A = this chain, B = another copy of it.
């Protein structure tokens, strides 16, 4: 053991051992996203302990622990070994812990399980839960996800699909639902843009690191999403996009949202993979029909015909499935998801500047609440996501609970 401790690997690991949060950040550099081996280990020991053992080279011990820790069916032992060795081999390339500060000053923050911004519904992923999430943008991820719908589809969208996705994004935003998508060309971008146009928060779940802009043509879109919504990735900030990364990312889109709508998808589209994750997570899977003559709608029709997906034609159908009127647990379509008396003081002061009738502009609200405009906008995003405030013609107002 002493020989290993003296090695570079150990020093790289030790540098990150300042606490649980740092250890999880380090593990997000080492593991493949969604690695069920790491997820299983993190059920039975702290991230610090996993990282220290990796650095110590205690791979047989970790491998032996895995079948005990795992929630999912254990993979073959060789696979466990390979995964652990891969993590260990990457220790040498770990950036210094100081880079965490550098990213934070760049506006990229880290959220770990149990922290205020961590969306608890990710627990549903079991061993495939992310080690940590990297986040950028003004909205609070957990808050925004409370009332959210995933709207996904083909990159090769038709004009019809793009129109439907953007209208759906805008209509859902108008009903105070956050739109979650993957930031890709086509349907994803149309859904994000629709939500932005309606002034609602939208969430881009990225397959690459947040310091990486992919696709490049979406630099302005991602900036706009960060202004009112949030971008999130389980890859470390400098992680480049990989082909399998997109499929692995899809489970996060499905898990973060209360249901998934596929707007357009060819028969082999990655959007069908997101739908499958949503189904596996017992979230409603919805598909928008289209012309039977369009290959880009064939996947949607297949979902309806063969996968039990609900046929939906617009936001009203989606809301009826996500939050049926009169449903006991939350009554999302009508009531707020968070009582007003659980808001932090700044957000509560912003809420107090509004009433249910005439709207007020953000600048007026900021002045009345005694906060700067950015803070007011962030609070309005939170209040919208919580179902407590809504946009109207004149600006923002308190949402009536009917």
Contact = CB atoms under 8 A, between A and B. Distances in A.
A310 interface: yes
B313 A311 contact: no
A293 interface: yes
A164 B293 contact: yes
The 4 closest A-B pairs by CB, nearest first: A289-B289, A292-B313, A304-B311, A301-B313
A291 B291 contact: yes
A67 interface: no
A365 B314 CA distance: 55
Contact of A164 (B163, B292, B298, B311): B292
Interface in A283-305: 288-293, 297-298, 301, 304-305
Nearest to A297: B289
Contact of A311 (B163, B293, B311, B312): B311
A124 interface: no
Given A288-B292, A298-B313, 17 more contacts: A160-B291, A160-B293, A163-B293, A164-B292, A164-B293, A289-B289, A289-B292, A289-B301, A289-B304, A289-B311, A290-B290, A292-B313, A292-B314, A301-B311, A301-B313, A305-B310, A305-B311
The A contact surface, by secondary structure, is mixed
Contacts of A313: 292, 298, 301, 305
A317 interface: yes
B288 A290 contact: no
Contacts of A290: 289-292
Nearest to A314: B292
A293 B162 CA distance: 12
Interface string A163-198: 110000000000000000000000000000000000
A289 B287 CA distance: 11
A190 to B, nearest CB: 14
Nearest to A313: B292
A277 to B, nearest CB: 22
Contacts of A304: 289, 304, 311
Contacts of A298: 313
Residue among A301, A313, A314 with most chain B CB within 10 A: A313
Nearest to A311: B304
A68 to B, nearest CB: 46
A288 to B, nearest CB: 6
27 contacts: A160-B291, A160-B293, A164-B292, A164-B293, A288-B292, A289-B289, A289-B290, A289-B292, A289-B297, A289-B301, A289-B304, A289-B311, A290-B290, A290-B291, A290-B292, A291-B291, A292-B313, A292-B314, A298-B313, A301-B311, A301-B313, A304-B304, A304-B311, A305-B310, A305-B311, A305-B317, A311-B311
Nearest to A288: B292
A164 B298 CA distance: 14
Contacts of A164: 292-293
